[in-house]
Amino acid sequence: MSDQPLAHPDMVVDRGDHLRVVGHPEVYAVITDPVTYSSAVSRFLQVPNGLDGEEHAAFREVLDPFFSPERMGALEAACRRVARETVCQQPRARAIDVVGGLGTTYAVRAMLVWLGWPEELEDELVGWVAENAEATRSGELERTTAVAQHFDHIITRVLVPRLERITQPPRDVTDELVRTRVGDRPLTHEELVSVLRNWTGGDLGSLALCVGVVLHQLAASPDLEADVRSRRHDAAALERAIDELLRIDDPFVSNRRVVTTKAELAGCPVHAGDRLVVDWTAANRDARVFGDPDHYDPEGHAQHNLVYGAGPHVCPGRPLATLELRVLLEEVLDATADLSLDPGTAGERAEFPLGGWAQAPVVLS
């Protein structure tokens, strides 16, 4: 990024109680400097994304292997089975909501398979995703707290029987997590809940939003759909296309940081204690880096794409999300000849702090 100048006063916007970082080079400068811009912004424990320094590195060292290429390769067949079943259950020749319907159902089922959780949780988790989205849109602390507590109760119900058989060999990913050690100690119950909340609670809604963004863009543009279909048998090329579609219409809106020491960002002075909001959507559409932000160029834009962040806090679950999205898209493409929008059924954009579509009607033909 050394060829991108940082001095640009419009790229750090004063919002009164925080500074919003909207430029791509400026966002990159923040997220790759965790010493100056800390991720410890929440009053709640957030493992590993809310940690910094050696503590963050220690957790990433033991958690990142859960998303290794070998692990993802071993998961693909089960993920594909879930994707194929879910796609086959969707009606044809009429609009379906690919966010709250196809996207959410697939996200929940894929998560249950990955973690080894009981299928009986599907309906409760599908309902929780909708409940969580509504609470997030409301911005009401009581509602967001209530849905967070609901999810923590689900996690605790899953953990209790596993902790009781902790001396037995692990049967699945959750069993392995329970037996994971950081340094010379096991994870505490609070840390286990936090990790599973990070792996699941955020991922369910996010994956559904990603499905909506990708399928809606393909349905809206025959040229995009044709290009993506041409990549069907090249996994890496298809993954680059998915990342680019997410860059164009980024469902991951923002993250927070707090300044630890006096510094300067794009010519704007910042001081210890200042709150920053990193605007992923704006950064991924910065004309200084991408030219026309709507121009689709999977290969040309890949180097600068910040959909999953960058630096030491780059999204640890990116390999899983990439696998899940690619496999679902492959199954959708195999099961259809055409994706289109229904002119009589309007979509609904998600409201801040969410991005993408709240409802995205697409016809699978």
Summarised one tens digit per residue, pLDDT across range 239-297 is 999 999 999 999 999 999 999 999 999 888 999 999 999 999 999 999 999 999 999 99
DSSP 303-350: GG--TT--GGGS-TTHHHHHHHHHHHHHHHHHH-S-EE--TTS--EEP
User: 3-state SS of 218-276?
Assistant: HHHCHHHHHHHHHCCCCHHHHHHHHHHHHHHCCCCCEEEEEECCCEEECCEEECCCCEE
Q: What is the mean pLDDT of residues 47-54?
A: 96
Residue 48 φ/ψ, nearest 5 degrees: -100, -5
Supply the pLDDT for residue 8.
Answer: 58
Supply the pLDDT for residue 353.
Answer: 80
What whole-number distance in Å separates Cα of residue 185 and Cα of residue 250? 38
362 touches 332 (CB < 8 A): no
Residue 298 φ/ψ, nearest 5 degrees: -55, -40
What is the pLDDT confidence band of residue 82, given thresholds at 50, 70 and 90?
very high
Supply the pLDDT for residue 9.
Answer: 59
Three-state DSSP at 186 gives strand
Supply the pLDDT for residue 10.
Answer: 73
What whole-number distance in Å separates Cα of residue 66 and Cα of residue 223? 37
What is the pLDDT confidence band of residue 5, given thresholds at 50, 70 and 90?
very low
Q: What is the mean pLDDT of residues 202-230?
A: 95
0.85 surpassed by pTM: yes
Summarised one tens digit per residue, pLDDT across range 306-315 is 999 999 999 9
What is the pLDDT confidence band of residue 1, given thresholds at 50, 70 and 90?
very low
331 touches 87 (CB < 8 A): yes
Summarised one tens digit per residue, pLDDT across range 131-184 is 888 888 888 989 988 988 999 999 999 999 999 999 999 999 999 999 999 999
Supply the pLDDT for residue 203.
Answer: 77
Q: Nearest CA to 163 among 192, 199, 194, 125?
A: 192
233: Cβ–Cβ under 8 A, 6 or more apart, which residues? none
Whether the pLDDT of residue 209 is over 70: the answer is yes
Q: What is the mean pLDDT of residues 197-204?
A: 84
Supply the pLDDT for residue 160.
Answer: 94
Summarised one tens digit per residue, pLDDT across range 36-46 is 999 999 988 99
Supply the pLDDT for residue 138.
Answer: 85
Whether the pLDDT of residue 60 is over 60: the answer is yes
Whether the pLDDT of residue 14 is over 90: the answer is no
What is the pLDDT confidence band of residue 2, given thresholds at 50, 70 and 90?
very low
